[in-house]
Amino acid sequence: MANDLAPENCQGEILSRLKRIEGQVRGITRMIEENRSCSDIIMQLAAIKAAISQVGASVLSAYLASCLEAEIEEEKVKKALAEFTPLLKKWF
């Protein structure tokens, strides 16, 4: 199977989000080294958790699109994804 995260599918967006998350993790490392409050650290960890969930939703959506495209017509795929993707993102 072709790469489900090929550039035309969403690779750039996902890589950008992951790099942002990577920066957030480095920020938390600094916060711990600087003895910042646990509440501040937890708040940042919650933000990372939400960001990772969004990346997961994007990857899952791309995979679903790839699977559906192999099975049904393109227009039906677009319609199904337009209905499915917002629900998926609400779940995560």
Q: How confident is the model at residue 10 (pLDDT cuts 50, 70, 90)?
A: confident
Query: Per residue in 60-69, is it b (16+ CB within 10 Å) or e — as a string?
Result: bbbebbbebb
What is the arithmetic mean of pLDDT over 54-73?
A: 78
d(C-alpha 86, C-alpha 91), whole Å: 9
Q: Which domains does the chain have, with CATH numbers?
A: 11-91 (1.20.58.1000)
Q: How confident is the model at residue 1 (pLDDT cuts 50, 70, 90)?
A: very low
Give the pLDDT confidence of 30-41 residue by residue, as tens digits: 999 999 999 999
Question: With a threshold of 0.85, does the pTM exceed it?
Answer: no
